[in-house]
Amino acid sequence: MVFDILTLFPEFFASTVRHGVVGRAAASGIIKVNARSLRDFTEDRHRTTDDSPYGGGHGMVMKVEPVARGIEALKESGGPASVVLTSPQGRLFSQPLASELASKGRLILVCGRYEGYDERIREFADYEVSLGDYVLSGGEIPALAIIDAVARLVPGVLGEPESAKSDSFSAGLLEYPQYTRPEEFRGMRVPEVLLSGNHAEIEKWRRRESIRRTCLRRPDLLQSADIPDSERAYIAEILEKEG
């Protein structure tokens, strides 16, 4: 999996390829993370990437030429890729979208800055992606989040591939509670079922706790989660008792 990034601050991504899951995957060659400066694709002596908006208004707008040239140059040198614009107007980033992007093989991530994109830049994009309903100074943080979430789904990146399947949101629900040693800490004990060795009961408990946690913390997720009718009564019971 290849992540090419077009940004005004390529140094922002330097630590990404040195640490954690992404760093290990990059070191082993499973993924590649390449950050390129948008200024490399300008043609004026000032290396200009922004200009004032037509019609007036506050702030500056990202120019179409450097972005278009950058996308085209990366495709020419590295082959086909899906282009992702980081944008507060985009599709909300989610685990299903991360899975969809992970299947692409190569992504070109364009990091927005200033007051936004020249509208014509959108003609070069396959996706517009937003982290949420808030404004950041630029698209670098969203790009990092996309890289991290997508990389985890690339085969070989995680030491235990099955762990990604139990992550929060992977099945449309929040993850169940996790515990490790010691068994007791300041009166707080690990649930007995987790110490029982009965794997069928443990899986049953985890499933019910996952549903319960989702009901209490993110009930909005229940509308799209894959929940059989046999568990709907349990959800109704939780909502009536806790809500």
Q: Among 50, 118, 167, 175, which one carries the catalytic annotation?
A: 167
Annotated catalytic, 167? yes
- Which of 24, 88, 100, 218 is catalytic? The answer is 88
Residues 117, 59: Cα–Cα separation, whole Å = 12
- Distances in whole angstroms, Cα of residue 136 to Cα of each of 5, 17, 23, 88, 97: 17, 23, 25, 9, 21
Q: One of 100, 115, 118, 175 is an active-site residue; which one?
A: 115
Q: Decide if 50 is catalytic.
A: no
Q: How many CB atoms lie within 10 A of CB 13?
A: 21
Helices (H) and strands (E) in the chain, counts: 7, 9
152 is catalytic: yes
Cα distance between the two ends of the chain: 44
> Which one, of 91, 127, 98, 96, lies nearest residue 110 by Cα?
127
- Determine which one of 10, 66, 140, 152 is catalytic: 152
The CA-CA-CA angle for residues 94, 100, 78, to 5°, reads: 120
Tokens of 90: 């985009």
Q: Give the Å distances, CA to CA, from 70 to 9, 25, 83, 129, 162.
A: 14, 25, 11, 19, 37
**Active-site residue list:** 88, 115, 152, 167
